[in-house]
Amino acid sequence: MTEYTGDSPASPTGPDASPASAFDGADTTISAPEFSVTSRALAYPQAAPVHDLVAGAAAGTDAFAQETLPAFAIRTSVHELPDLAPHETDEEPEVEPAAVVDVHTKKAPAHASEPAAALVTASVAEPVETPAPPVVEPAVDVALVDVAVVDVATLAPAPIDAPAEPDPVLVNVPEFAERNSSDLFLAPSSDLATIGSVQPPAVARRGIRGFFGGIGIKMAPGAAEQEEIDAGARLRRNEEIIRQATWTRAVSVLVANRKGGVGKTPVSLLLGGTLASVRGGSVCVVEVSDDPGALTFRAEGNPRLGLGELVRSVDTVVSAGQLAGYTAPQTSFASVIGSIGDRVPLTSADVVAVSRVIDEFYSVRVMDSGNQSSSPAFTAAVGTADALVIPVLNAGDAVFEAVALLERLRAEGGRSAELANRAVIIRLTDGRPEHPQVLERINRIIAGAGAAHVFSVPYDAHIAERGQLTLGSLNPATYDVFAAAAAAIVEDLRIESH
3-state SS, one letter per residue, for 318-376: CCHHHHHCCCEECCCCCEEECCCCCCCCCCHHHHHHHHHHHHHHCCEEEEECCCCCCCH
Question: Running DSSP on this structure, what letter comes out for residue 14?
Answer: S
- Compute the Cα dihedral for 234, 237, 243, 245 and give only its sign: negative
Q: Is residue 60 part of a domain?
A: yes
Please, are residues 307 and 354 in contact by the beta-carbon 8 Å criterion? yes
pLDDT in tens, 80-119: 444 444 444 444 445 444 444 443 444 444 444 444 443 3
Domain assignment of residue 182, yes or no = no
Contact of 481 with 267, CB cutoff 8 Å: no
Q: Summarize pLDDT for 34-50 with one digit per residue, the tens.
A: 444 444 444 444 444 44
List, as one string, the DSSP characters of 159-205: PTTPPPPPPPPPP--HHHHT--HHHHHHS--HHHHHHHTPPPPP---
pTM above 0.75, yes or no: no
Which residue type, as a one-letter code, is found at position 363?
Answer: S
Domain of residue 139, residue span: 27-154
Length of the chain: 498
Q: What is the DSSP letter of 141?
A: B
Mark whether 263 and 142 lie in a shared domain: no
Q: At what angle do helices 414-421 and 376-384 cross, to 10 degrees?
A: 70
Q: Pairing between strand 364-368 and 335-337? A: unpaired
- Is residue 321 in a domain? yes
Residues 6+ apart with CB under 8 A from 441: 396
Residues 376 and 250 in one domain: yes
Indicate whether 149 and 238 sit together in one domain: no
CB atoms within 10 A of CB 139: 16
In this structure, the strands spanning 36-40 and 251-255 are unpaired
pLDDT at 154: 44
Q: 3-class DSSP state for residue 278?
A: helix
Model confidence band, residue 226 (pLDDT cutoffs 50, 70, 90): confident
Q: What angle do CA 35, 38, 44 make, to 5 degrees?
A: 115
State how far the alpha carbon of 287 is from the alpha carbons of 276, 284, 325, in Å: 17, 10, 16
**At a CB cut-off of 8 Å and minimum separation 6, what does 409 contact?**
382, 388, 416, 417, 419, 420
275 in a domain, yes or no?
yes
Q: What is the mean pLDDT of the chain?
A: 74
Q: How many CA atoms lie within 13 A of 234 on its CB side?
A: 17
Is 60 exceeded by the pLDDT of residue 144?
no
**Boundary of a domain, candidates 119, 154, 189:** 154
Do 354 and 484 belong together in one domain?
A: yes
Instruction: Give the pLDDT of residue 202.
Output: 82
**All residues at 6 or more sequence positions from 461 whose CB lies less than 8 Å from its CB, including other chains:** 431
- Alpha-carbon distances of 312 from 156, 306, 323, rounded to whole Å: 99, 10, 13
User: What digits encode the pLDDT tens for the residues 305-356?
Assistant: 999 999 999 999 999 999 999 999 999 999 999 999 999 999 999 999 999 9
Angle at CA of residue 334, ends 332 and 338, nearest 5°: 125
Residue at a domain's end among 138, 154, 170:
154
Q: What does the alpha-carbon distance between residue 440 and residue 438 come to, in Å, rounded to a whole number?
A: 5
Give 355-414 pLDDT, tens digit per residue: 999 999 999 999 999 998 889 999 999 999 999 999 999 888 899 999 999 999 999 999
Q: Both 112 and 242 in a single domain?
A: no
Q: Confirm whether 347 is domain-assigned.
A: yes
Residue percentage of the chain with pLDDT more than 90: 49
| pLDDT the model gives residue 476 | 95
Integer angstrom CA distances of residue 200 from 196, 235, 461: 11, 18, 37
242 in the same domain as 150: no
pLDDT at 101: 40
- Do the domain assignments include residue 193? no
Diameter of the chain by CA atoms? 140
Round to whole Å and give the CA distance between 187 and 182: 8
- Whether residue 271 sits in one domain with residue 123: no
The answer to whether residues 240 and 143 belong to one domain is: no
User: What's the structural domain count of the chain?
Assistant: 2
Q: What 3-state class would DSSP assign to 253?
A: strand
* DSSP, residue by residue, 27-71: EEEEE-SS-EEEEE--B-TTPPPHHHHHHHHHHT-HHIIIII---
**Using one digit for the tens of pLDDT, what is the confidence trace for 153-172?**
444 444 445 455 545 444 44
d(CA 162, CA 171): 26
CATH number of the domain to which 299 belongs: 3.40.50.300
Distance CA 448, CA 450 (A): 6
Contacts of 177 (CB under 8 A, 6+ apart): none
Domain boundary among 154, 186, 215: 154
Residue 93 inside a domain? The answer is: yes
Q: Per the domain annotation, does 12 fall within a domain?
A: no
Residue 170, Cα to own-chain centre: how many angstroms?
28
